[in-house]
Amino acid sequence: MVSLTGVNAAAAAEAAADPIVAVDLDGSIVYANPATRESFERSSLIDIRLESILTVQGGHTLLSVLGPTPQRVLVEIAPDAGEPFEAEMSVNPSDAPEGRYWVLVMHPLPRQELSIRELLRRATHDDLTSLANRSYLLEHIDTTFRDPRTADVPHCLVLFDLDGFKRINDNWGHDAGDAVLVAIGSRLLGLCRPGDVVARLGGDEFAAWCHNIDDRHVPDLARRLGSVFADPVEFDELRLEVRGSLGATTTSFAHDPNELLRQADTAMYRAKASGRDSHVIFDAAMAAELRERGVRERELRRALSTEQFVLHFQPVVNLATKVVIGMEALARWDHPRLGQLQPHDFIPLVESTLLLDEFNTAMIEQACNQLAAWQEQLSRPLSVWINVSPNHLSEAFVDRFSTLIRDLDLVPGRLVIELTEDATIATPERVAVLESLRALGVRIAVDDFDTGHSHLACLADLPIDLVKLDKSLVQGIAGRPERLSLASSVIDLAHALNTEVVAEGVECREDLEVLERLGCDHAQGFLLAMPSPAEDVPGLDVGDVIDLR
């Protein structure tokens, strides 16, 4: 029989008011203190399976919590006579010469606390699947790293994401979706070893924290866990095929729960990108990439907070009068080390981070402030044209805009929002946002309009005021009949729809003359004026015209 190590420990256990038991690998009781015998109202408990007199809550079994890491679980104890009661039970692995055993200490919960405990259980577990939730998982990983017995043992975190789960929900209803989640969760539990933690992170995302897995064995583990998708899930008369992607990482890459989650997530997205039903294991190259991204993100964050992003302005010139009617705001990054960077050097970077929203907002605010300044300084109307990323369009965006207009006392008609053509595909949500903007009095321009007649329809479908012909259509138009006829039909159609046309990227006089002949309303380009800081832009004063001679 296993004995508690040391006379003092044993004496303490004998004297303790709380039930303390020791169980072996099978969950059979090898020691029980007097308080236990009292609580369970039995004279002897030795060799009885603990689970025959107590139920572990939260979808666990006793064996599943007998792992190498200490844990805390909620149990319900049902004595032979008397009311069942709940207790918090700490599970502490311990090693004796005879083998491993677990010391379980129970703290019965006062009845009035039960509802608080229930709340606690709900806070750490997912209601649908009864698996652990994200915060429990993170907490548990953290405990692993803080416990000297498990801190340096290799562990593996695996993330699962179902492919096409939405389709199951849409086609067969939410009950079917729920059944899939429950089935996958319980299969995962079955594929893991005692002491591993299986969690539902939310939606159709699951995680498994597998202890004591050497890096060499991770591919096998990933394959084993991947078999969770091998069989269809049966629901009513249906057999639902479920696919998923899987990403794994190990503690050789990080000792921080959130970092591990990020790594597993990166690997999982790789798996998703490489095709359905595959797994990817985080490696040194991905680690280097993540670090690099971290560095760039910090750099970007600093750039935003120290206002290294500035706007240059390029005049939009009316072709009939050669008067500057507006200024397009174009972002530049005054990088402390690399000098001035152009949008193609940093916009993709900004878009790949979580800072896109902040960047867009900063640029929009700068542009509006500049418009306010010009409104004050100039004795003639001048508009400011702002490039807006398509995914930035939302009702919240409209609200922010309307606040800016009110706070800065802007004339709404002097704000033009430029949206790239593919972004303006007329979804009902987008049209609604554009309508709200126009209701404020703001004008909308379709940017980079270049493709053939298939897209002409969008001019009619969208609530817009202006079209900007892309440079690819404009440059060399004088010598290219096909460009000329395309531009000509866009201009005619736009005019028929009461939409004005701006030609972008005009670099030579021949092209400009053709555009004038076609009746194009306005133009922009190096020939007319380069983008420059607000204080240097030409054509601001009354009577100023852009002189090409």
Compute the distance between CA of residue 152 and CA of residue 156 in angstroms, rounded to an integer.
12
Q: 309-318 and 324-335 as β-strands: parallel, antiparallel, unpaired? A: antiparallel
450 is a contact residue toward ligand C2E (CB under 6 A): no
Helix, strand or coil, per DSSP, at residue 43: coil
Rounded to the nearest whole angstrom, what is the least distance from the CB of residue 71 to ligand C2E in the complex? Answer: 49
Rounded to the nearest whole angstrom, what is the least distance from the CB of residue 474 to ligand C2E in the complex? Answer: 9
Residues within window 440-469 making contact with Ca ion, judged by CB under 5 A: 447-448
CB atoms within 10 A of CB 378: 12
Burial 135-164 (b: 16+ CB within 10 A, else e): ebbbbbbebbbeeeebeeebbbbbbbbbbe
389 is a contact residue toward ligand C2E (CB under 6 A): yes
Q: Which is nearer to ligand C2E, 331 or 437 (CB)?
A: 331
The first and second tokens of residue 547, run together, are: 């002189």
418 is a contact residue toward Ca ion (CB under 5 A): yes
50 is a contact residue toward ligand C2E (CB under 6 A): no
Residues within window 269-308 making contact with ligand C2E, judged by CB under 6 A: none
Residues within window 376-415 making contact with Ca ion, judged by CB under 5 A: 387
Q: Which is nearer to Ca ion, 207 or 324 (CB)?
A: 324
Rounded to the nearest whole angstrom, what is the least distance from the CB of residue 540 to ligand C2E in the complex? Answer: 18
Stretch that binds ligand C2E, among 140-148, 300-308, 407-415, 521-529 (CB under 6 A): 521-529
Which one of Ca ion, ligand C2E, none interacts with residue 389, CB within 5 to 8 A by kind? ligand C2E
Stretch that binds ligand C2E, among 20-28, 255-263, 267-275, 326-334 (CB under 6 A): 326-334
Rounded to the nearest whole angstrom, what is the least distance from the CB of residue 102 to ligand C2E in the complex? Answer: 58
Q: Which is nearer to ligand C2E, 188 or 388 (CB)?
A: 388
3-state secondary structure 467-518: EEECHHHHCCHHHCHHHHHHHHHHHHHHHHCCCEEEECCCCCHHHHHHHHHC
Residues 111, 85: contact at Cβ < 8 Å?
yes
Compute the distance between CA of residue 224 and CA of residue 236 in angstroms, rounded to an integer.
27
- Residue of the chain from 525, 534, 537, 539 that contacts ligand C2E (CB under 6 A): 525
384 is a contact residue toward ligand C2E (CB under 6 A): no
Stretch that binds ligand C2E, among 169-177, 275-283, 292-300, 385-393 (CB under 6 A): 385-393
Compute the distance between CA of residue 417 and CA of residue 427 in angstroms, rounded to an integer.
18
Q: Which is nearer to ligand C2E, 153 or 310 (CB)?
A: 310
Stretch that binds ligand C2E, among 95-103, 273-281, 337-345, 458-466 (CB under 6 A): 337-345
- Compute how many residues bind ligand C2E; rule: CB under 6 A: 25
Residues within window 63-92 making contact with Ca ion, judged by CB under 5 A: none
Question: Does 504 participate in catalysis according to the annotation?
Answer: yes
Separation of CA 176 from chain center: 26
Compute the distance between CA of residue 382 and CA of residue 221 in angstroms, rounded to an integer.
65
472 is a contact residue toward ligand C2E (CB under 6 A): no
The letter for the amino acid at 96 is: A
The residues pairing with 281 across neighbouring beta strands, listed in sequence order, are 248
Stretch that binds ligand C2E, among 4-12, 57-65, 451-459, 523-531 (CB under 6 A): 523-531
- Closest alpha carbon to 425 in 398, 440, 446: 446
Rounded to the nearest whole angstrom, what is the least distance from the CB of residue 90 to ligand C2E in the complex? Answer: 54
Please give the C-alpha separations between residue 30 and each of 3, 7, 8, 89, in angstroms, as whole numbers: 8, 17, 18, 17
Compute the distance between CA of residue 333 and CA of residue 347 in angstroms, rounded to an integer.
10
314 is a contact residue toward ligand C2E (CB under 6 A): yes
Q: Which is nearer to ligand C2E, 140 or 443 (CB)?
A: 443
Q: Where are the alpha helices (DSSP H) in 205-283?
A: 218-226, 257-273
Please give the C-alpha separations between residue 240 and each of 130, 165, 167, 204, 336, in angstroms, as whole numbers: 22, 10, 11, 15, 56
Instruction: Pick the catalytic residue from 86, 418, 500, 504.
Output: 504
Compute the distance between CA of residue 334 and CA of residue 313 in angstroms, rounded to an integer.
15
Rounded to the nearest whole angstrom, what is the least distance from the CB of residue 470 to ligand C2E in the complex? Answer: 7
The residues pairing with 311 across neighbouring beta strands, listed in sequence order, are 331
- Residue of the chain from 144, 505, 511, 523 that contacts ligand C2E (CB under 6 A): 505
- Residue of the chain from 260, 281, 330, 490 that contacts ligand C2E (CB under 6 A): 330
Separation of CA 526 from chain center: 40
Rounded to the nearest whole angstrom, what is the least distance from the CB of residue 424 to ligand C2E in the complex? Answer: 13
In the complex, which residues of this chain contact ligand C2E (CB under 6 A)? 314, 329-331, 342-344, 347, 360, 363, 387-389, 418, 447-448, 471, 504-507, 524-526, 531
Enumerate the active-site residues: 504
